[in-house]
Structure 1
Amino acid sequence: MGVLQPPLVIIYHKSSLYKHYTSDSTNMKKIISVSILLALCLAACSKKDDKNEPLSYLSITPNMCILEVGKLTTLTINTTENVVWQSSDPSVATVQDGIITAVAEGHAEITANVGNAVGKADVYVILQGGTYQGEYQLVWSEEFDGNSLNTNMWNIETGGGGWGNNEKQTYTASENNLRVRNGNLEIEARKDGENYYTSARINTKGKFDVAYAKVEARIKMPGGGGTWPAFWMLGKGSWPTCGEIDIVEHVGNNPKYASHAVHTREKNGSKGNNWHNSQLVENLVGEYHVFGMEWLKTYYLGVDAIKFYVDGVYSGTTYAAQNATFESWPFTADRPEFIILNLALGGNMGGTINNDIFNNPVIMYVDWVRVYQKKM
């Protein structure tokens, strides 16, 4: 028979590996005790390293909040270390030590930093008595990328007769007046004879209408006395009961100003008492600008509103009255409106036509039209 070897005990240490033979239980117990002690030391070192390991993620509660202007709320965070707080837009919401103050309508992202760890929260600020309706999402657009007008999206209106405003042009479907090329809709006004003017007008009636939306277009306005280009909306039914929203009108005889207006049965242009506003715009003629409107639900003190802007710069707001009637505010969810683009000449607003303007092309260029609605 071979010689019996004492039991082999292998002890692991961070610096080396030891082999030890023992032949009695006393020594074995000592070795086991040493092994346990070493294991406990290693575990303690590991826990110490874990404690010093930096946080990789910060959790902010709540991570989204809605505040009225002037209100405050406090955010909590999953750390006791010093936190660096920042607001993406202090003009909308400020933050100090996790305390948020709502300053003005809009959205701000609040960021908390501890070393490389980051936590984020969204703050939406609304006006007093308003409601948060969500964020805008694109729901319809026309980019005019083809070679002809998309008649699945647009109707072409034709005819003359003044169009209710003593306008001088006759609208046609001719490519001389209406065409799509180079990524633009082109509406050209022409003098085609003695006191005979032609132009174009299109709309989305029966093909697209919308309520409570942001509606925008990027347009390069023509210049010259008598021109009257417009980007506007109408509801169904007879005017002015249907409601009219003039997102932008431009009068060539007053070339530096873009105007906005709203017409209702109670207050309209025929009565001379409708809401309207004008905005001074640098280089308005001959350069592209974005003209927009927001039709807002429960915006302020529990009432709806329509808000206008040029190139993102606020221009004006008109509000529904408390307990508004259909005659004073027809802009409701069950009465959506369709979009119109046209270039008129002369008339009640366009004024006197300077025929010398037709020595050069008189063209309204529309790069795109886009519609957004708020979604939760």
Structure 2
Amino acid sequence: MLTLKATRISWDKGNSGASPHLPIRYHSGAVHAKEHVVVNDQFPNWEVKGDFQAPSARGTWPAFWLTGANSWPPESDILEFKGDNRNWSNTFRTSSDVSSSSVGVSSPGSWHTYRAWITKVNSTDVDIHYYLDGKWIAKHTGKNFAGKPLWVIINLQMEGSSGSPGPAAETVYRARNVYIGRTRA
């Protein structure tokens, strides 16, 4: 089991380097997979899944996602809570072209399985099917995803899109049974 912790700090750490340059108030963690997911002719189908206990209090922002290793977008958010009990499945094709689906999750802090099944549909595009606890919840098309290496990331951010102020107490985000698989053409 992987446990990521976020701890509120009491000293001035400065501001975030990204707009809107919010103050840094937490130390938290992230894990990037060593290898990339690359949907291509050789491996046209990928499964990315894991079991997670995700915090959902205001100011917490846990995620399990894929993002371009060499450029952004592409991005696919398999698990993303932004300060409440809704999980967001997002597929960014450009900064202004995004498909988003959200579903309320009963007790996000209990174990739930989040999964994406990614399939190459033509020379540039993929279909991404999102699942929660084995139930299909959305399908998005990822334009210009094929052939682009993607990082697999598990991270716990705080505040930002999840609201302020964040929790004063230590926040934990747990993962287990993370699986990344592919099939040959």
TM-score (norm 1): 0.41
Asked whether 1:316 is paired with 2:138, we answer: yes
**What letter corresponds to residue 197 of structure 1 in structure 2?**
Y
Partner secondary structure for residue 168 of structure 2 = helix
Q: Is 1:193 the counterpart of 2:16 in the alignment?
A: no
Moved more, 243-252 or 190-199: 190-199
Q: Report the Cα distance in structure 1 between the residues aligned to 2:66 and 2:101, rounded to whole angstroms.
A: 16
Deviation at 1:374, TM superposition (A): 3.0
Gapped runs of 5+ residues in structure 2? 13-24, 40-44
Aligned-partner Cα distance in 2 for 1:188–1:358: 13
Match of 1:331 in 2: 145
Amino acid aligned to 1:290: T
Compute the displacement of 1:248 (Å): 1.1
Quote the residue 1:340 is aligned against.
153
**Aligned partner (choices 274, 279, 297) of residue 98 of structure 2:** 274
Does residue 366 (structure 1) correspond to residue 179 (structure 2)? The answer is no
How far has the Cα of 1:291 moved from its partner? Answer: 0.5
The CA distance in 1 between the partners of 2:173 and 2:54, in whole Å, is: 5
Q: State the alpha-carbon separation in 1 of the partners of residues 46 and 154 from structure 2.
A: 18
Q: Deviations over 1:14-58 (max 9, x none)?
A: xxxxxxxxxxxxxxxxxxxxxxxxxxxxxxxxxxxxxxxxxxxxx
**Residue 58 (structure 2) pairs with residue 229 (structure 1):** no
Quote the Cα distance in structure 1 between the aligned partners of 2:70 and 2:36.
Answer: 13
Aligned residue runs from structure 1 range 231-270, under 5 A: 231-240=64-73, 243-252=74-83, 254-255=84-85, 257-265=86-94, 268=95
- SS state at 2:9 partner: strand
Q: Which has the higher strand share?
A: 2
Match of 1:203 among 29, 32, 40: 32
Q: What stretches of structure 1 of length at least 5 have no aligned partner?
A: 1-183, 321-328
More helix by share: 1
In the TM superposition, residue 279 of structure 1 has moved relative to its aligned partner by 1.2
Alignment of 1:274-313 (within 5 A): 274-284=98-108, 286-298=109-121, 304-313=126-135
Match of 2:128, as an amino acid?
I
Q: CA deviation at 1:194?
A: 4.8
Shift of residue 330, structure 1, vs aligned partner: 2.0
- Give, in whole Å, the separation in 2 of the partners of 1:375 and 1:274: 29
1:318, 1:232 → 2: CA distance? 14
Larger Rg: 1
Question: What do the CA deviations read for 1:128-147 (whole angstroms, capped 9, x no partner)?
Answer: xxxxxxxxxxxxxxxxxxxx
- Supply the distance in 2 between the matched residues of 1:363 and 1:236 (Cα, whole angstroms): 26
Identity %: 25
Task: Give the partner amino acid of 1:287.
Answer: S
Q: Which letter does structure 1 place at the counterpart of 2:105?
A: V
* Counterparts of 1:353 and 1:208, CA distance in 2: 35
Matches within 5 A, 1:87-102: none
How many residue pairs get aligned? The number is 165
Q: Distance in 2 between matches of 1:298 and 1:344?
A: 33
Output the amino acid matched with 2:162. G
Displacement of 1:188 after TM fit?
0.5
Instruction: Please tell me the residue identity of whatever aligns with 2:6.
Output: A
TM-score (norm 2): 0.81
Per-residue CA deviations over 1:52-76 (Å, capped at 9, x if unaligned) read: xxxxxxxxxxxxxxxxxxxxxxxxx
Counterparts of 1:50-69 in structure 2, within 5 Å, are none
Q: Which has the higher contact order (CA 8 A, sep 6+)?
A: 2
Deviation of 1:197 after TM superposition, in Å, equals 1.3
Offset at residue 245 of structure 1 (A) = 0.9
* Distance of 1:304 and 1:225 partners within structure 2: 33
**How far apart are the structure 1 equivalents of 2:81 and 2:157?**
10
Q: Which secondary structure state, in structure 2, belongs to the residue aligned with residue 358 of structure 1?
A: coil
